[in-house]
Amino acid sequence: MTFSITILGSGAAIPTLTRNPSAHLLNLNERLFLIDCAEGTQLQLRKYKIHFQRIGHIFISHLHGDHFYGLIGLLTSFHLLGRKEELHIYGHPILEAILNAQLEASGTTLIYPLHFHPLFCEKYDMIFQNENVTVHSFPVLHSVPTCGFLFKEKNSARKIRKDVLDTIMIPFPEMSKIKNGGDYTDPEGRVYKNEELTSDPPRPRSYAYCSDTVYSESFIPYIRHCDILYHEATFMQEKVEDAHEKWHSTAMEAATIALKARVKKLVIGHFSARYDDLQPMLEEARSVFPETYLADDGAVFTI
Amino acid sequence: MTFSITILGSGAAIPTLTRNPSAHLLNLNERLFLIDCAEGTQLQLRKYKIHFQRIGHIFISHLHGDHFYGLIGLLTSFHLLGRKEELHIYGHPILEAILNAQLEASGTTLIYPLHFHPLFCEKYDMIFQNENVTVHSFPVLHSVPTCGFLFKEKNSARKIRKDVLDTIMIPFPEMSKIKNGGDYTDPEGRVYKNEELTSDPPRPRSYAYCSDTVYSESFIPYIRHCDILYHEATFMQEKVEDAHEKWHSTAMEAATIALKARVKKLVIGHFSARYDDLQPMLEEARSVFPETYLADDGAVFTI
C-alpha cells in the first residue's frame, strides 16, 4: 500500500519563487489527502503532476493565509473541470463561512457535493477513518486555534505463513478467523496455535503534521513513535526569541520534539524567507536528531 | 513620462503552468496601478521583478475568482513586509466584506492604511485622479456586475518653443500663462499670439481594460481612440455560442470592438486553457484588426 508525502510548499508566510507556502499531499493507497492549501497550491499540484481531482479530503490546520488562501481557487477549479466526486473539508468553522461568501460573490453553485467538517482543535479526536487509515486532530500551540494531524494505518490482519499453507489444508471459512488471531483445529482434532500458523502483520505506518506551533511537549503523546513527523522550523536557534514571540519553532526545537517523541524521521519546513541556504538549519536539527530532512518543494517522502 | 502595461496573467479561469489568470500592472510615471489580482499574482510580480510595494491603487473588475483570489495574499504580504504607505482598493462592496472576514479570521490588523472604494459599475464614472491621470470605470456586460477601466493622461500644458525662448525675453511669471494658452505682450506693447509662441503638447495617452465581457458596443463611447485597448478573447469564433452563453467574447469580436472604437492597438487575453497554440486566435483577430497583439504572461506594452 502506497504511503507517501509530497511537499507542495515549504516556505513560511511570504511566497517566493523557490518556496510556496504550506501544503502537503498524502497518498495513502492511491487515495489522496491534502493538508493545508496555501495560495498557489493548485499550480504546485500541476507542477508535480498530481491528478488533483483524486483528492477526496482536505485538512486545514488553521486560518493563517499561508495555510488556506489557495483553497477557494482549488475548489473553483474542481468545479470548472467538471468534478462529480464528493469532497470533504476539515477546518475551523469560520473557514466554511469564508468559502461560502466567495462562492456566493461569484454566483457559483458547486456542481459536486462539498461536506464541511468543523474542527475546534481542542483535544485529540478521530476526525476520519476508512478501511485503511484513521486521521486524528490534536491541538498544537499557535497564535490562533491550530490543529496537528496524525494519519495512521489501521492494524492489518495477521498473515498466514506460506509454509503452513503448503503443508496444512485449511478450509477457506477458517482463514479469516486465523488472520484475526484464532487457533485452528483440524478434522482429526489436532489444535494448531495461532502463533504456529501466522506471522506478524507489518507495523502500521504513521505520519504526523505539526504546523504552525511554538515549542510544546503537550502533543508528544499523540505523535510518539510515528514514522514521519513533519514539524515546522520557521527559524534557526539564534532567532529563538523571534520564534517564541511569533508562536513558531526553531530547527533545534523541532529536532528536540522528534527526539523526545522517538519518531523515526523528522521533516522540517515552513522556513522563513530570510533563509536562502537551508544547510545550516538542517545541520542544526541533525545535531539533535540525525534523521532530519528538509521539506523542499517537490520532495517526496515514502514510508 | 512612463506609460507601460505589464501582463501578469493572460489565462481564463483555470491557472496553468504557462498562463496565470487575470492581472495587469500599469506603470504611469513610476506610480504603479494593479488591475485585477488572480491567485498567484504576487508571485508573478516577483517573477517580473516589479517592486510591488510601490503599488498604490488596485482595481478589481468583478468578483469572479480568476480576477481577485490573489488579492488577500498580496495584502497580507504587504503587511508582513512592513508596508507603511496607504493602499486604495476599488471594487464591488462585497469584496471589502470578504477581505475583512479573512483578515479577521487570521487575527490580522494591517499595519498600513487601506482605503476601500466601492464600485457599482452602473455608469461611466471618474473614480480616481492625480496630477497626471484620470481613471474612469464603466459597465461592461458579464454574468455578474463588471467594470471596465479607462486610464487616461491629463492634457498637459502647451510647450513654449525653444526658438521663441532664444529670441524673446519672457518674464518668468508670464510663462505659465502662455503654457495655458495665453498671449504675451512685451514691455514695448507688442502682442505675440499664443500660436506664435507655443507648440501643441503631446496627445494624452490612454489604456482601456475590458474584461470580462460578452460582445457589446455599449461601451465603445468610453474607449474610442484609446492607444491600447485590452479586450478579453476567451474563445475563437468557432466557439461563439459558448462565448455568448458564458458572457465572454471571441477574438474576432474583440477585434470588431477595436475596429469600431478606432483604437490604436488591441491586446487580447483571458484565453481559455483549451488553446495551447494562440497563433490561430491572433490571426483571427488580425483578419479584422491588424494591430492586434497577444497578452502573453510577462509581455510589456509601452505607449
Per-residue model confidence (pLDDT) at position B1: 85
**If contacts are CB pairs under 8 Å, which of residues 136-155 in chain A contact chain B?**
143-144
Assign A198 to helix, strand or coil: strand
Q: Which CATH number fits domain B3-156+202-296+298-302: 3.90.1150.200, 3.60.15.10, 3.90.420.10, 3.30.300.130?
A: 3.60.15.10
CA distances from A118 to A94, A273, A298, B100 (A): 9, 31, 29, 21
Confidence of residue A173 (pLDDT cuts 50, 70, 90): confident
| Mean pLDDT of chain A, nearest integer | 95
Is B246 within 8 Å of chain A by CB?
Answer: no
* B278 min Cα distance to partner chain A (Å): 21
Are A106 and B63 within 8 A, CB to CB? yes
- CA B15/CA B38 separation, integer angstroms: 9
Whose CA is closest to B60, among B146, B166, B132? Answer: B146
- Tell me the backbone φ, ψ of residue B176, rounded to 5 degrees: -70, -30
The greatest distance separating any two alpha carbons of chain B, rounded to the nearest whole angstrom, comes to 75
Assign B99 to helix, strand or coil: helix
Assign B106 to helix, strand or coil: coil
Name the closest residue on chain B to residue A76, using Cα atoms: B65
Report the complex ipTM. Answer: 0.89
Are A101 and B101 within 8 A, CB to CB? yes
Are A107 and B144 within 8 A, CB to CB? yes
Confidence of residue A257 (pLDDT cuts 50, 70, 90): very high
- CA B160/CA A95 separation, integer angstroms: 62
Q: At what angle do helices A93-105 and A71-80 cross, to 10 degrees?
A: 50
- CA B40/CA A187 separation, integer angstroms: 70
- CA A127/CA B250 separation, integer angstroms: 48
Residue type, B231: H
Q: How do the domains of chain A map onto residue ranges?
A: 3-156+202-302, 159-199
Residues of A in contact with B98 (CB under 8 A): 98, 101-102, 105
Of B17, B106, B107, the CB nearest to A43: B17
- Pairing, β A146-153 against β A133-140: antiparallel
Span A132-142, pLDDT tens digits: 999 999 999 99
Q: Tell me, yes or no, if B212 is annotated catalytic.
A: no
The greatest distance separating any two alpha carbons of chain A, rounded to the nearest whole angstrom, comes to 75
Query: B291: which residues sit within 8 A by CB, 6+ positions away?
Result: B258, B264, B265, B266
* A6 min Cα distance to partner chain B (Å): 18
Active-site residue, from B66, B212, B227, B297: B66
Query: B29: which residues sit within 8 A by CB, 6+ positions away?
Result: B1, B2, B3, B132, B133
Per-residue model confidence (pLDDT) at position B156: 83
Per-residue model confidence (pLDDT) at position A106: 87
Per-residue model confidence (pLDDT) at position B157: 85
Per-residue model confidence (pLDDT) at position B51: 94
Query: A118: which residues sit within 8 A by CB, 6+ positions away?
Result: A91, A92, A93, A96
- Whether A236 and A251 have beta carbons less than 8 Å apart is answered as yes
Per-residue model confidence (pLDDT) at position A270: 97
- CA B182/CA A168 separation, integer angstroms: 115
Span A65-106, pLDDT tens digits: 999 999 999 999 999 999 999 999 999 999 999 999 999 998
Span A196-232, pLDDT tens digits: 899 988 889 999 999 999 999 999 999 999 999 999 9
- Whether B5 and B26 have beta carbons less than 8 Å apart is answered as yes
Per-residue model confidence (pLDDT) at position A135: 97
Active-site residue, from A36, A66, A212, A227: A66
Q: Locate B160 and state its grid cell.
A: 513654449
Per-residue model confidence (pLDDT) at position A258: 98
Span A36-73, pLDDT tens digits: 999 999 999 999 999 999 999 999 999 999 999 999 99
Span A261-277, pLDDT tens digits: 999 999 999 999 999 99
Residue type, A120: F
Is B63 within 8 Å of chain A by CB?
Answer: yes
Residue matched to cell numbers 473557514: A95
- Whether A39 and A12 have beta carbons less than 8 Å apart is answered as no
Are A69 and B64 within 8 A, CB to CB? no
* B129 min Cα distance to partner chain A (Å): 28
CA distances from A178 to A36, A156, A172, B286 (A): 41, 13, 10, 76
Span A12-32, pLDDT tens digits: 999 999 999 999 999 999 999
- Whether A20 and A222 have beta carbons less than 8 Å apart is answered as no
Q: At what angle do helices A93-105 and B93-105 cross, to 10 degrees?
A: 160
Q: Locate A105 and state its grid cell.
A: 460573490
Are A77 and B15 within 8 A, CB to CB? yes
pTM here? 0.91
Residues A244-257, mean pLDDT to the nearest whole number: 97
Confidence of residue A168 (pLDDT cuts 50, 70, 90): confident
- CA B156/CA B153 separation, integer angstroms: 8
Of A65, A101, A107, the CB nearest to B106: A65
Per-residue model confidence (pLDDT) at position B162: 87
Terminal CA-CA length for chain A: 10
According to CATH, the topology of domain A3-156+202-302 is Metallo-beta-lactamase; Chain A (3.60.15)
Query: How long is chain A?
Result: 303
**Helix H segments across chain A?**
41-47, 71-80, 93-105, 162-167, 172-179, 194-197, 220-223, 240-245, 251-261, 279-288
pLDDT of chain B, 303 residues: tens digit per residue: 899 999 999 999 999 999 999 999 999 999 999 999 999 999 999 999 999 999 999 999 999 999 999 999 999 999 999 999 999 999 999 999 999 999 999 889 999 999 999 999 999 999 999 989 999 999 999 999 999 999 999 988 888 988 888 888 888 888 888 988 899 998 889 999 999 899 988 889 999 999 999 999 999 999 999 999 999 999 999 999 999 999 999 999 999 999 999 999 999 999 999 999 999 999 999 999 999 999 999 999 999
- CA A156/CA A217 separation, integer angstroms: 30
- Whether B180 and B157 have beta carbons less than 8 Å apart is answered as yes
- CA B35/CA B58 separation, integer angstroms: 6
